[in-house]
Amino acid sequence: MDELDFHRVLHRPGTLLDVGAHDGAFALPFAHLPGSRVLAFEPLPSAFARLSAAAAGVANLELRQEALGDHRGEAVLSVPIVNGAPSEQWASVAKGYAQHGVEEQRFTVPLRRLDEFGLADLTAVKLDAEGAEYEVLRGGRETLLRCRPILSVEIEERHREGSTWAVPAWLDALGFDGVFTLRGEWRGIAEFHRPTMQRASPDPRIFKASEPYVFTFYFLPREHAPEMLGRLRTAEGVLNP
């Protein structure tokens, strides 16, 4: 099961949040789920322009050219240049790339807290922030406690050392159970073995990674986790008989 299928299986009507929307690979399918309203954040100007073009005419999709974090203000968004071209998938407000000897573009972008939006019906979060996951979630603490959404979060040690410990621990304290999928099986996050399941270079010019490479983690509100996990396992069997 991939990340989009996770959201389809557990979909509930309400507001769906796409943080790091890029070209809309999640925001656009989210907008077609029944009863959905999508709030998509993408601070990178080039990606936001493509997202805006792709989303033209989609009434229930709101685009925000902003980054999310744990305070309101501004942030520096760094984009490494690899083989003469910007590597947009590495764009981050959490780190720069000069320490690796990599040329980079830098943009000053608006920074907001999720809690500022006062959402009362948030049902799902997709988060891909290249190392800034902890700050994004911390800035939405009250929203997460109030709404109890499901979450899919990309967390990589190569973007921020210690993040695969810190982010799950913080969400655990808010009452969310972490899981991941490996070879068609749903596993508790306690089974995640960093030395063998997530080894990769923090240098964007180096693409070698461990096999397997687990970097997408899913978080379920604890009060609904057994039922939701049962639905995921049933759907996994249907999708991958």
Which three-class secondary structure string do you get for the chain?
Answer: CCHHHHHHHCCCCEEEEEECCCCCCCHHHHHCCCCEEEEEECCCHHHHHHHHHHCCCCCCEEEECCEECCCCEEEEEEEEEECCEECHHHCECCCCCHHHCCCEEEEEEEEECHHHHCCCCEEEEEECCCCCHHHHHHCCHHHHHHHCCEEEEECCCCCCCCHHHHHHHHHHHCCEEEEEEECCEEEEHHHCCHHHHCCECCCCCCCCECCCCCCEEEEEECCCHHHHHHHHHHHHHHHCC
CATH topology of domain 3-68+112-239: Rossmann fold (3.40.50)
- Which pLDDT does position 29 carry in this prediction? 96
Domain locations in the chain as residue ranges = 3-68+112-239
Q: Each residue's pLDDT tens digit in the chain (241 positions)?
A: 899 999 999 999 999 999 999 999 999 999 999 999 999 999 999 999 999 999 999 989 999 999 999 999 999 999 999 999 999 999 999 999 988 789 999 999 999 999 999 999 999 999 999 999 999 999 999 999 999 999 999 999 999 999 999 999 999 999 999 999 999 899 999 999 999 999 999 999 988 899 999 999 999 999 999 999 999 999 987 666 5
